[in-house]
Amino acid sequence: MATVLIAGGATGIGRAAMRAFRARGDDVLLADINAEEGGAAALEEGTGRARFSHADLADPDTPARLVAETLEAFGGLDTLFCNAAVMHAAPLADWTAADWARSLAVNLTAPFLLTRAAAPALRRSDNAAVILTASTGALRGHARMHAYHATKAGLLGLGRSLADELGPDGIRVNTLLPGFIDTPFNAPFWAAQDDPEAAERALAASIPMKRQGCPEDVAGVVTFLASPAARYVTGTQMVVDGGYSAV
């Protein structure tokens, strides 16, 4: 049994990962800005225990607080899953400095601060893992999504540097690159398209597996990266996109 901190998991990939971790007996502290959905997620039935913490990861004091809450609730920390993100879509001229700053704070700075805060506890684990959720958006671009693509690309570099520094301490750091996963998170992207329904159909047709992914398609990869089966996997990027970025 392990202890997991999931930052960003009220819905979508994070919630599916929480269910998967709890199903194998792990204890999970789930943090999210969405108190209604996050609280409901923590009340779901599961083998492992669950706690919810309302958190705005744009606040630089939040990461240390979440690590402290995890240690207080469960006595240790084995896996840090940095999954929270902001997706803002707008024409370049409509972007503000505040829009850019919030995306940077949540998508890139928070994972850095979470890892820094969690490292002392992770060093005490015999199977320590950090998983950063980037995106196939780190490998390609879409108009109007400037901060999202920039920050997700930044996570690739952050993951590699953390893997190098923390590897001697037995802490693995890997970056997850989901493709188009059918979750509420992608609503801003679809809303920015001229014809959202036609855009979704065209996207599905362009994916070799001919569909968007579902959160459970990604959750299995997350639990693998956190498991002893991945003890020699670090500093890598794991793409989960149905072949979208391969063609």
Alpha helix stretches (DSSP H) within 8-74: 12-23, 35-42, 62-74
Tell me if 176 sits within 8 A of 131, measured CB to CB: yes
Q: What is the DSSP letter of 220?
A: H
What does the radius of gyration of the chain's CA atoms come to, in whole angstroms? 17
Distance spanning both ends of the chain, measured CA to CA:
39
Query: What pLDDT was estimated at residue 53?
Result: 98
d(CA 167, CA 170): 5
Which residue type, as a one-letter code, is found at position 28?
A: V
At a CB cut-off of 8 Å and minimum separation 6, what does 132 contact? Answer: 82, 111, 155, 158, 159, 173, 174, 175, 176
Tell me if 134 sits within 8 A of 175, measured CB to CB: yes
Work out the number of other CB atoms within 10 angstroms of the CB of residue 193.
17
The structure tokens 């919810």 sit at: 52
d(CA 226, CA 82): 12
- Residue 151's DSSP bridge partners are none
Per-residue pLDDT of the chain (247 residues; tens, 9 = 90+): 899 999 999 999 999 999 999 999 999 999 999 999 999 999 999 999 999 999 999 999 999 999 999 999 999 999 999 999 999 999 999 999 999 999 999 999 999 999 999 999 999 999 999 999 999 999 988 899 999 999 999 999 999 999 999 999 999 999 999 999 988 777 777 777 778 888 889 989 999 999 999 999 999 999 999 999 999 999 999 999 999 999 8
Query: What pLDDT was estimated at residue 184?
Result: 78
Query: What pLDDT was estimated at residue 54?
Result: 98
Domains of the chain and CATH, by start: 3-184+214-239 (3.40.50.720)
Q: What is the DSSP letter of 137?
A: G
d(CA 34, CA 54): 7
Q: What is the DSSP letter of 2?
A: -
Q: Is 148 a catalytic residue?
A: yes
- Decide: helix, strand or coil at residue 71: helix
Q: What is the DSSP letter of 87?
A: -
Work out the number of other CB atoms within 10 angstroms of the CB of residue 227.
15
- Residue 33's DSSP bridge partners are none
Catalytic option among 21, 52, 74, 148: 148
Two tokens at 33?
């800005």
For residue 161, give Cα distances in angstroms to 132, 157, 212: 12, 6, 31
